[in-house]
Chain A
Amino acid sequence: AQKITQTQPGMFVQEKEAVTLDCTYDTSDPSYGLFWYKQPSSGEMIFLIYQGSYDQQNATEGRYSLNFQKARKSANLVISASQLGDSAMYFCAMREGWKTSYDKVIFGPGTSLSVIP
């Protein structure tokens, strides 16, 4: 069963506007971490932001913020003031079993974001 769901295969946003990329997850672990990665057309994987399951505050990193709703098991990425360079694939990921021997990071299917001038 899919543990990470990203329901938007493709999104468009006007330059300078904000955009929200959706992510829902499923885990029975009480301790887990959530990540967002960006993959531009050049192919590298770029870490954007992290949210721990016990973190009280939503994570923010510059123009990126993570809207973490634990009870709903959602971890949406908000990009403010979109730029042309934000056009890329965005992956939501979850680390399960953190600090155990079986911990691993699994990825959602990704959302392709296109920023329109």
Chain B
Amino acid sequence: DTAVSQTPKYLVTQMGNDKSIKCEQNLGHDTMYWYKQDSKKFLKIMFSYNNKELIINETVPNRFSPKSPDKAHLNLHINSLELGDSAVYFCASSLKRVSNTGELFFGEGSRLTVL
């Protein structure tokens, strides 16, 4: 079973379109994240959710709207896509407990190409 799964793995779309990426984790983690990896491989945190509550929004444009229906799912909807949105989007999860390291478990990434 895949621990953190994202769909779709690839999206190719035109500028101005709207698209969504879905993420699910079956690890029982309480915190989920979206990261963006640009063409230079730089990984930047976008959002984090803890138990369905938005915790971090790293000055991401309003066109990006995350949604967490429950603590196992975190979706990302992007409106009015721009060329600069082309990137690999990673979903990740972790567990906040005193005794664990809290490392991130990543999904396989969703490669978005905006034409």
Contacts and interface: CB of A to CB of B under 8 A. Distances in A.
Nearest to A101: B55
A98 B90 CA distance: 21
A103 B96 contact: yes
Contacts of A107: 35, 42-44
B20 to A, nearest CB: 20
Give the interface residue-count category, chain A: 20 to 34
B90 to A, nearest CB: 7
Nearest to A45: B106
B41 A98 contact: no
A89 B40 CA distance: 11
A109 B88 CA distance: 15
A30 interface: no
Given A43-B88, A89-B41, A110-B41, A99 B96 contact: yes
B42 to A, nearest CB: 6
Given A43-B109, A99-B96, 4 more contacts: A35-B103, A47-B103, A99-B98, A102-B56
Interface of A: 33, 35, 37, 39, 43-45, 47, 50, 52, 89, 91, 93, 95, 98-99, 101-107, 109-110
25 contacts: A33-B101, A35-B104, A44-B108, A44-B109, A45-B92, A45-B104, A45-B106, A47-B103, A47-B104, A47-B105, A50-B103, A52-B101, A89-B41, A93-B104, A99-B98, A102-B55, A103-B96, A104-B33, A104-B48, A105-B45, A105-B94, A106-B45, A107-B35, A109-B41, A110-B42
The 10 closest A-B pairs by CB, nearest first: A45-B106, A107-B43, A50-B101, A47-B103, A110-B41, A43-B109, A104-B56, A104-B45, A44-B108, A105-B104
